[in-house]
Amino acid sequence: MKELSVLYITDEKFAPLVGVSVTSLFKNNPVECIALTVYILTTNMSRKNQAKFADLAKDYEQTIQIINVGGELERIEKLNLSKYRGSAMTNLRLCFDKFIPQQVQRLLYIDADTIICGSIEELADFDMQGKMLGMVHDAYGKIIADKEHEGDAYYNAGVILFDCVKWRKGMWRKRIIRYINHNGAQFAHPDQDIYNILCRKEIVCLPIRYNFQPIHQMYSDHVVCSHLGRYDYYSKEEIAEGRDDPAILHMVRVFGRNPWHKKNVHPFDAQYKRYKALSPWKKYPDEKMKISFVIRIEIWLHKLLPEAVFFPISLWAIRVSMKK
């Protein structure tokens, strides 16, 4: 039987989202096929949520270990490293090795805003080609990448396959901290940009099905590739294969909302609600989310205009927002 360690990072607020994601992970990766050990790094998770994770592990006969990392979060917050949407939680990925057992050789990090809708067995022995990280290209990499990435492939950090042996042997946590202390890291996507800058030669490209992003569900391949296509991105055939057989759906915001927000128009809304209904958090209420006037206009234009006209407008809006 194959085995794989999986990592999530959350606080109390996003614990239900991690719970839904883990439910989908266990549902589509039964213990008869692969033994999973899920590590959840967290701060101040309530006993109620911890009990629900314990029930989830028992129901699917898999393993979940919850690890409190409050002190480490305080240390991360003191670094000259920008936060993501006001939180430093995501930056804990940069020091995961302080909490994961030494015997773990391969680790799959998964963001909270994901649904695992297929098997991840392949990743247990995926050929890393001697590299340290396995990542999927960021669909918007051409426009969100920092200048330091210009001309290089740009990867999304929502799903990362770590070779923990190489990570520890190369003392990458210390390298990254040293870089931040000497250079600072005021990026729009802090730890994601760090991986793309410092570890660019240590990244092997994963199939797009392991981090399938909404853009490829919302727009045709022709429109996306004509505006964002790059020589180092996926082919239309690879995108089509990922759409037909995705393993991990990454529920990044669409028009200001995620599937757990009321009145969302997210393309992965149905998948999220399906696994939420199967989870111990099925009664967790959807959140209200205020959206700006600009996003309201964007939604209106999306309904009104052909995608070939609307899509470049949306890219322009992203570029403008990043300059603020």
- Position 153 scores a pLDDT of 87
- Position 186 scores a pLDDT of 58
Distances (CA, A) of 286 to 40, 258, 263, 293: 23, 10, 9, 22
- Position 9 scores a pLDDT of 93
Are the CB atoms for 152 and 196 separated by under 8 Å?
A: yes
- Does domain 2-285 correspond to CATH entry 3.90.550.10? yes
Distances (CA, A) of 127 to 38, 118, 157, 203, 295: 22, 19, 19, 12, 42
- Position 293 scores a pLDDT of 85
- Position 78 scores a pLDDT of 61
Q: What's the rounded Cα separation, in Å, for the pair 215 and 318?
A: 13
Q: What is the pLDDT along the chain (324 residues), one digit of tens a residue?
A: 899 999 999 989 999 999 999 999 999 999 999 999 999 999 889 999 999 999 999 999 999 999 988 777 667 666 656 555 545 566 778 888 989 999 999 999 999 999 999 999 999 999 999 999 999 999 988 777 655 555 578 999 999 999 999 999 999 988 988 888 776 555 667 788 889 988 999 999 999 999 999 999 999 998 988 888 766 789 989 999 999 999 999 999 999 899 999 999 999 999 999 999 999 999 999 999 888 888 888 889 999 999 999 999 888 877 766 655
Q: Residue 61 corresponds to which amino acid?
A: E
- Position 95 scores a pLDDT of 82
- Return the domain boundaries, the chain: 2-285, 292-324
Are the CB atoms for 204 and 159 separated by under 8 Å?
A: no
CA angle 255, 90, 201 (to 5 degrees): 100
Q: What's the rounded Cα separation, in Å, for the pair 229 and 153?
A: 12
Q: Edge to edge, what strands does the sheet with 133-137 contain?
A: 63-68, 34-43, 2-11, 106-110, 155-163, 133-137, 203-205
**Global pTM value:** 0.93
Residue 300 C-alpha from the chain's centroid: 28
Are the CB atoms for 124 and 64 separated by under 8 Å?
A: no
